[in-house]
Amino acid sequence: MTIEPVHPKWMKKVRLPLALYLASQLLLAGCGTVTMRAGNGDVDVRNRDADQRPVMMGTAEEAKWDAVLARWIAHPKLSTCDAPGAVLLVDSPAGRYLKAAGVSSVDSGRAVQVGDRFQVGSNTKSFTVALALQLQEDGVLSMDDLLSRWLPGVAARIPNGNRVTLRQLAGSTSGIRDYADELMMPVIEKNDRAGLQKTYAPSELVDFALTTGAPDFEPGTGWKYSSTNFILLGMVVEVASGRSLSALFRERIFDALGMASSSYLEGSAAPGSIVNGYFTVPGQQRIDVTAWNATQGGAAGAIVSTAEDMARFAKGLMGGAIFRKRSTLDEMLSFTELAISQGGALMSGYGLGLISFRTTGFRAIGHAGQTPGFQTVWFVVPEADSRVVFLTNSGSCPAEFLPVLLPPDYFSVPKRP
């Protein structure tokens, strides 16, 4: 069965049962030797959390996560994950696991380091929603405001735009059509370098979505993943606050949580500032797409980060460091239940910029992201007090399936009655 990829990526339709089967082989089948580095070089990473967890995992725990990391790097026989390199971080009561494997550049052969910066794509959506909710706590806006209050001219151009609320944007229940697939996939398939590096204003991304077809449904009557929602929410955040997204991310989230290696890209990444990103076009060779212009992702997908920084975000969001009120986080955690036809093979629900992954035996809440050259995922396992971050430098590696494919015994989750 072919279904729309409503998970956080903009690729064309994929055959999820086949993808699930192939990806499962990465966890169950051996795949040769992969060199992995703990910390910087061979130095063990020290857990920087303020809690009393062990600084390192025991040998048995470490070995099982070694196997996960090794089996998600490019495999000569299984084409599900074609990533040249990856970083995996796990924080649990057993300690911290943080290792890198593979290469950051196919041409140079430079090994990936755990502190390397990756584009995190649609994980940006969680950050954008967090900003909007912070402004709601400050009394600047309400998530139940109409889009037309803040962007009257834009709302007037959108069919049903005068009935769309900010909450519907954050939860992908507005019905506004997604721009991302139709904008980016033709560029990737043709290896169109000029198109890859083209700059877009947020309003141009919205206008592009409006030219590709009618809305998917009436506001509030359905659910469909759409990056256009978050472009609009980012525009509202800037208008309501009078500040740029770049400044808001830095001041309200990055600096507040100590995410010193994170930034919001407003163009292409400077050479050498991130690992190289790749995409394997079906039937063609792998191409280097590091020069992608992140204005094409904007508030929906333009953040660059590291595994440790993303773990800080996960801990800060779920642990109360971003919001003053628990009820604000509860709004993000209010999930719309999804059917299989809506992407339910991957997600059991979608909240406000958060995914409840369809895992077995444990809950996993977080997000995933894709740009042309990267696929990444982060999630927390509340019952196990654990956080996981997985970063790859391939836009065609289905990293978002990692939580779905992990067995429950990887986390010390009490059995449910």
Q: What is the pLDDT of residues 103-158, one digit of tens each?
A: 999 999 999 999 999 999 999 999 999 999 999 999 999 999 999 999 999 999 99
Please say if the pLDDT value at position 406 is more than 90: yes
Average pLDDT estimate for 37-56: 46
**φ, ψ for residue 78, nearest 5 deg:** -110, 125
Residue 208, phi-psi category: left (phi > 0), alpha (psi -120 to 50), beta (remainder): alpha
Q: What are the angstrom distances between the C-alpha of 44 and each of 54, 55, 57, 241?
A: 12, 9, 10, 42
Q: Specify whether the CB–CB gap between 70 and 83 falls below 8 A.
A: no
Domains, in order of start, for the chain: 16-410 (3.40.710.10)
Please say if the pLDDT value at position 338 is more than 60: yes
Average pLDDT estimate for 216-232: 97
Going by pLDDT thresholds of 50, 70 and 90, the confidence category of residue 344 is confident
How much is the pTM?
0.89
> 227-241 and 202-211 helices cross at what angle (nearest 10)?
140
**φ, ψ for residue 86, nearest 5 deg:** -160, 160
**φ, ψ for residue 93, nearest 5 deg:** -60, -20
At 260, is the secondary structure helix, strand, or coil?
A: coil
| % pLDDT > 70, the chain | 84
| % pLDDT > 90, the chain | 78
Q: Which of 28-42, 79-93, 191-205, 294-308 has the lowest mean pLDDT?
A: 28-42
Q: What is the pLDDT of residue 345?
A: 85
Q: What is the pLDDT of residue 282?
A: 81
Other CB atoms within 10 A of residue 286 CB:
15
Average pLDDT estimate for 288-317: 98
Which residue in the block uniquely carries the two structure tokens 């590291």?
A: 306
Going by pLDDT thresholds of 50, 70 and 90, the confidence category of residue 55 is confident
